[in-house]
Chain A
Amino acid sequence: MKKKYSFFNIIKNSLSHNENWEKMWRSPEPRKFYDIIIVGGGGHGLGTAYYLAKEHGLKNIAVIEKGWLGGGNTGRNTTIIRSNYLWDESAHLYEHSLKLWENLSTELNYNIMFSQRGVMNLAHNEHDIKEIKRRVSANKLNGIDSHWIDPKQIKKLVPIMNTENLRYPVLGASFQPRGGVARHDAVAWGYAMRADEMGVDIIQNCEVKKIRTKNGKVQGVETSKGIIRAKRVGVVASGHTSVLAETAGIKLPLQSKPLQALVSEPIKPVINTVVMSNAVHAYVSQSDKGELVIGAGTDGYNSFTQRGGYNIVEDTIRAIVELYPIFGKMKMLRQWGGIVDICPDASPIISKCEIEGLYFNCGWGTGGFKATPGSANLFAHTIAKDKPHSINAPFNLERFVSGRLVDEHGAAAVAH
C-alpha cells in the first residue's frame, strides 16, 4: 500500500488530533531465509535495501538493526552535505550522492528537509589557503560548484563571524552553494517506509552476533532472534563493522573512535549557511528549530562508548566562541558521541571480500551522512551485480595491499 503525504492528508489527520496516522512500516518477525540481509538499519543500510528493491527489482530482503532505525550515526551526525572532495574518485562518489540528495524528497515523497544553504570551509593560514585553493580548482575540474571567497565576501554571508581579531584570523574560504543540510532522521524514515512498501522486512531490536560462513561462502547470520540464513549479506554497521567482520574471519583496516557533536538552546536565525573550519576545528550550522548544531573532532583513542571526553567539547567551544563572539553567553543543551569507523586514508570501503556473498560498506569515518544516498545506491549495485559500480570500484579492500589509496585527510574536515 502506497502511503502518500499531501496537504489534504495532513488536514484530514489533524482533525483527529494526528492519532490515526497509519504505521510507516511493519515490524515483522524475521523469516528463516532471505536472499539478501543488510546488517545495520541506518540511512546507508535502509537506502541499500530501498535501491536493491527499486533499481534492481530484487525481493526477499531484510534489514537487521541492533537498536532502532537511525539510532546510530544516522541520528548523531551534524547533517552536513557537500561534495567538495579533492581526488577524482571521491569527487565522483560524493557528487553522485549530492545529485541523489537533490531529488530525494520527491523520490521518496517524504520531506527530508534538504536545504542547500551552502557550505563554507575556512582558511586560517598560508597552508590552508594553498590547500583549499588547490581543492577548489580540483573541484571545478570535476564540475563541482566550489569557489574561493575572500574575508569580505565571508563577512557578507556570515556577518556575525569575527574574521580579524582572533589568534588564527580568517583569510578566506571555499564555498559550495549546492551543499547544505538535511533532516537526518527523515532520511532513515523515508528510505525505511519506501523499502517496506516494496516488501523489505525491517527487523529492529535484533542484534547480529555472528556472520556464518562455510567453505568461503556466506551462509547467513546468527542473531538475538535466532539463525537467519541468507545468500548474500551486506554489512553497513559503521563503528561495529570491523567487530562483525572479525566473526567471519575478515580483518578490516578500521579503527572505531567516538565523534562528538552538541546543540545549543534555540535562538532566532543568525547563521544561514554551514561554516566549517579544519584548522581551529569547529563547525556550526543552525537547525530549523533554531539550535546551533556544533561538531567537534574525534576523540584520539579507540572506543565504543558513545560519549567521548569533555576536553574535545572544550576545544570546540573555545574555537566557536572566538569565531562567533555573539555565541559567548549561550547554553548548550545536549552533547553526544557516535562511534565512527575510520580508514587509514579517510576514504570509505564499498567492497566485496574474499568470502563469496559477503559485502562491506564501511570506513565512512567522520563524513558518512553526506554520502547516504550515493553510498546506498552504489552498495546496492555492488550486491545486486556482485561487482562494484565504476564509481565505487576504487574504494575496494585491495587498496590496502596495492597502496593505491584515496587520501582525503584534507577534505575530510575532521582531524583524525
Chain B
Amino acid sequence: MLLINCPYCGERDQSEFTNGGEAHIARPKNPESISDEKWGEYVFFRSNPKGIFHERWVHSHGCRKWFNAVRNTSTDEILKIYKLDEKAPETKDFKNTLNSPSGEPDLGSGNFTVKK
C-alpha cells in the first residue's frame, strides 16, 4: 500500500485517495473539426508505461483536492508530487530502473516469477 504525501494535508494512507489516471490530457480545442481518429485517441487512449508515469490523484477522503504525481509503475515508488498549477517534471529527469521495456527492475517490483 502506498503512503501518499498530499501537498495540502501531508502524508496519508493510500486508501484515502483515488487515482485519476494519466495527467496532462488536454481536451482538443475544436472537437467538431478534428478527425474520428484524433477524437478516439483523446477519449480512449492513455499511455501505459512500465516505468515513469505522470498521473493524477484526488484526496477523496480528505481535503478533496486534486494534485499530480510522478510514479515508477514498475516499483510503485512515488518520485514526485506537485500541484496542478506547477510545471510538470520531465520523464528524463528521473532514472528509469528498467533494462528493457517489459523487463524487471533489480529492486522493488515483487515480480519473482520473472526474476533470475
| B15 contact from A237, A244, A311, A402, Cβ within 8 A | A311
Nearest Cβ on chain A to B48's Cβ, whole angstroms: 5
Known: A247-B101, A309-B14, A401-B36. Contact between A302 and B109, CB under 8 A?
A: no
Report the interface size for chain A: residues with CB under 8 A from the other chain.
40
Bitwise interface map of A from 245 to 286 toward B, beta carbon under 8 Å scored 1, else 0:
011000111111000000000000000000000000000000
Known: A247-B101, A300-B18. Contact between A255 and B46, CB under 8 A?
A: yes
Majority secondary structure, B binding face: loop
Nearest Cβ on chain B to A240's Cβ, whole angstroms: 4
* Most interface-central of B18, B19, B102 (chain A CB within 10 A): B102
Q: Does A43 contact B (CB under 8 A)?
A: no
Q: Does A72 contact B (CB under 8 A)?
A: yes
Q: A300–B19 contact, CB under 8 A?
A: yes
Which residues of B are found within 8 Å of A311, using beta-carbon distances? 1, 13-15
| B101 contact from A71, A243, A309, A403, Cβ within 8 A | A243
Q: A400–B44 contact, CB under 8 A?
A: yes
Nearest Cβ on chain B to A413's Cβ, whole angstroms: 21
Q: Which chain A residues (193-251) contact chain B, with CB distance < 8 Å? A: 205, 207-210, 224, 237, 240, 242-244, 246-247, 251
Which residues of B are found within 8 Å of A401, using beta-carbon distances? 36-37, 40
| Chain B residue, CB-CB nearest to A314 | B15
Known: A244-B101, A303-B76, A305-B76. Contact between A72 and B113, CB under 8 A?
A: yes
Kindly state the separation between the CA atoms of A274 and B97 in the bound complex, as whole angstroms: 41
Please name 18 pairs of A and B residues whose Cβ atoms are closer than 8 Å in the assembled complex, sorted by A: A66-B114, A207-B100, A207-B102, A207-B114, A209-B100, A242-B48, A251-B45, A253-B44, A254-B48, A302-B53, A302-B55, A303-B76, A304-B74, A305-B74, A305-B108, A305-B111, A309-B2, A309-B14
Chain B contact residues, CB within 8 Å of chain A: 1-2, 13-15, 18-19, 21, 36-37, 40-41, 43-50, 53, 55, 71, 73-76, 100-103, 108-111, 113-114, 116
Chain A contact residues, CB within 8 Å of chain B: 66-68, 71-72, 205, 207-210, 224, 237, 240, 242-244, 246-247, 251-256, 300-307, 309-311, 344, 400-403
